Amino acid sequence: MPPSVRFIVAVAFLVERDGRLLMIRRSADREHAPGEWECGSGRVEPGEEPEDAVRREAREETGLDVEVIGPVDTFHYYRGPAREEAIGIAFHCRVRGGEVRLSNEHDAAEWVPLDRVGEVAVSQPLRRCLTRFVTRAGT
C-alpha cells in the first residue's frame, strides 16, 4: 500500500476592478513568502467549497466583498520553511462592495493596470497564473 500523501488546498483570489488587479504585499513577519507581492490567498477549511473559501479569504485579507467569476489556473507549490506540499486554485473575482482594509497579513496594496501586471515581481506559479488571467482578460 502506498504511503499516505497529504496536500494543503489553497485558493488565490485575483480581484479585478475597472481594468486593474489588486496586488497586496505580504507582511515582513509572515512565515511563508514575507515581503512578496501576491493577489491574496488562503487555505480551504475542511468541508468548505473553494468558492466560499475565496469569498471568505478575500473579505478577511482585503475587506472586500467579491463575486467569484471562475477559476483561472491551478498550481502545485511547497509552502513555507516546512515545505508543505500544496495545490492552489486561482479564481478571477470582481469587487461587489467594500473598501480595501488590509489584515495584519499584508502591509501594502496597489491596484495595478492589467497591462502592467507583468511588471510586478511575483513567484513563478503566480507569474504563470497572472499571464493566463491577463490573456483571458483581453489585454
What is the rounded distance in angstroms from the CA atom of residue 97 to the CA atom of residue 113? 19
Distances (CA, A) of 139 to 51, 109, 117, 133, 136: 25, 22, 10, 9, 8
Q: How confident is the model at residue 2 (pLDDT cuts 50, 70, 90)?
A: low
Which pTM value belongs to this model?
A: 0.88
**Segment 11-27 mean pLDDT:** 96
In this predicted structure, the answer to whether residue 37 has a pLDDT above a threshold of 60 is yes
**What integer best gives the mean pLDDT of the chain?**
91
11 three-class SS: strand
Residue 89's nearest CA partner among 118, 132, 47 is 132
Burial of 56 (0-12, 13-18, 19+ CB in 10 A): middle
Domain coordinates in residue numbering, the chain: 8-137
In this predicted structure, the answer to whether residue 118 has a pLDDT above a threshold of 60 is yes
Superfamily of 8-137 according to CATH: Nucleoside Triphosphate Pyrophosphohydrolase (3.90.79.10)
pLDDT at residue 91 in the model = 97
**The three-state (H, E, C) secondary structure of 27-41, written as one string:** CCCCCCCCCCEECCE
Least confident range from 27-31, 50-54, 86-90: namely: 27-31
* Chain segment 66-76, per-residue pLDDT in tens: 999 999 999 88
pLDDT at residue 130 in the model = 92
